[in-house]
Amino acid sequence: MTALEGFVGDLAANPALSGLDRTVSCRITDLSQVVQGRLANGSAQDMTAVPDGPAVPKADIRITTSSDDLLALTDGSLSFGSAWASGRVKLEAGLRDMLRLRSLL
């Protein structure tokens, strides 16, 4: 949870995303968990873990990765761009959000 809050918090604090207020989720495939929260006011808010399943509401911005890759992203040993390009991280969002997020890749 700490790793994900750091990763999402870094995204939220980026000036390219100033004013962004969106729901965010991260599906951690090897743990069968989804961590949900909100990107708002330059920080990650209300981050909670729930069991993965069909009842999990769809967030505005959705990330899918393994716990090992999430830790590598947060400690800087894996860049988001290369992880995304190689399929280790999947990012789903609306077109407008993707255009804002692409500046971070």
- Output the pLDDT for position 105: 57
For the chain, residues with pLDDT lower than 70 are 1, 12, 103-105
pLDDT at residue 27 in the model: 94
Taking Cα atoms as reference points, which of 48, 44, 49 lies closest to residue 21? 44
Provide the whole-model pTM.
Answer: 0.82
CATH of the domain at 41: 3.30.1050.10
Q: Is residue 71 domain-resident?
A: yes
> Is 53 within the bounds of a domain?
yes
Determine, yes or no, domain membership for 79: yes
Alpha carbons within 13 A on the beta-carbon side of 67 = 8
Amino acid at the residue 35: V
- Is residue 25 within 8 A of residue 44, CB to CB? The reply is no
Does the residue 39 lie in any domain?
A: yes
State pLDDT tens for residues 36-54.
988 888 778 888 889 998 8
- CA-closest candidate to residue 89, choices 99, 103, 105, 100: 105
**Domains of the chain: total:** 1
| 3-state SS, residue 36 | strand
Domain of residue 29 covers 2-95
